[in-house]
Structure 1
């Protein structure tokens, strides 16, 4: 039986981290397949990546192998798969480029907020449940759109459902971004009054 989680490790070579690295290595493979219109193998790569995501999370908690690197790799991989799906579909003119710009602009906002917080001695904001919900919606909606492209028989159902979830996910993504911006402004005001903290161990925002 795995022990009780005692904290976040600085180790690099753990099984969960290796799985996360493999997920990242599969991102360019996924992108090439989507751009080439090979949606069935692209979905297989995406399902494989999703299963390894669940597995590395389970192993990290079960065997006390939660690491700082893993906390960075997991959300990075999620975002890269979302970007790859968007770019691949947009390159084939299957989704409009404006939705790519909307999603990328929101993450650019998070990067700017992270720089502002770092300049005041703070780490990234903690993950907000709304951000997690938005990422989940995007990670669901885009593959469902691809499912219809891979299997035209289900497209009449999968395409409107996939689009509905994707648009909702984009809305939640920005809603979470606004919440992060408001929280950043609050933290900066507090820092100006009381000074920055000695250390900060907040997680990467979603």
Structure 2
């Protein structure tokens, strides 16, 4: 039997955006499952060692799922939704748990959560002007998430009285402050992106109105 041609191989290859059962999606799903497990470990038995393991897996899988999606050509619409959802839930659950435990101050939690609350207004605003699109994830947002996912295990580790906790405290807060700053910076950039989209949409609408419609009819002929 002869080998399939390039066109035959391409035709038989599944369309990546519509795929569900992929390795990156499996990693993102496991990260989501880890959120309630982490909360129970920290707030229930206060098993900080096991909770650190969950956070470590979350950070590693967050890095790997994007890399694998591109390397294996397994980028999908579901993955685009799952990845940032898992990031947000880990940040939300971790900051709540650390605040309840008294490991981070309330002001830090308020500043962190206020950024996400501010961004909640963007989707309805974009939809209201006829732009039902999701803003692409900005690299600064990913950098902020990485910093925070590095900070949280170190801050949790700093809750003890050992020499390891003493050493983890300043490093954890360095990552936390950088992460908070980048988190807000990326939030501002999302608003800038949204404003740019809205401006281009208005200009496009004005041009179409001046031309008399999409087909360019109704001019001064």
The structure whose Rg is larger is: 2
User: Is the Cα contact below 8 Å between 1:82 and 1:138 reproduced in 2?
Assistant: yes
Partner of 1:170: 180
TM-score, scaled to structure 2: 0.78
May I ask how many residue pairs the two structures share in their alignment?
Answer: 194
Q: Taking structure 1 as reference, are residues 131 and 19 closer, same or farther at Cα in structure 2, changes over 3 Å only?
A: closer
Partner of 2:199: 189
User: Is the Cα contact below 8 Å between 1:15 and 1:56 reproduced in 2?
Assistant: yes
- Aligned counterpart in structure 2 of residue 180 of structure 1, from 190, 194, 215: 190
Q: Which runs of 5+ in 2 are unaligned?
A: 1-8, 207-221
- Structure number with higher relative contact order (C-alpha < 8 Å, ≥ 6 residues apart): 1
Report how far residue 136 of structure 1 moved: 1.3
Q: Which runs of 5+ in 1 are unaligned?
A: 197-206
Report how far residue 16 of structure 1 moved: 2.2
TM-score, scaled to structure 1: 0.83
CA–CA separation in structure 1 for the residues paired with 2:50 and 2:110 = 26
User: Is the Cα contact below 8 Å between 1:6 and 1:64 reproduced in 2?
Assistant: no
2:150 aligned with 1:127: no
Structure 2 counterparts to residues 7-156 of structure 1, below 5 A: 8-36=16-44, 37-119=46-128, 120-149=130-159, 152-156=162-166
Q: SS of the counterpart of 1:9?
A: helix
User: Is the Cα contact below 8 Å between 1:43 and 1:143 reproduced in 2?
Assistant: yes
CA–CA separation in structure 2 for the residues paired with 1:43 and 1:90 = 16
User: Is the Cα contact below 8 Å between 2:59 and 2:150 reproduced in 1?
Assistant: no
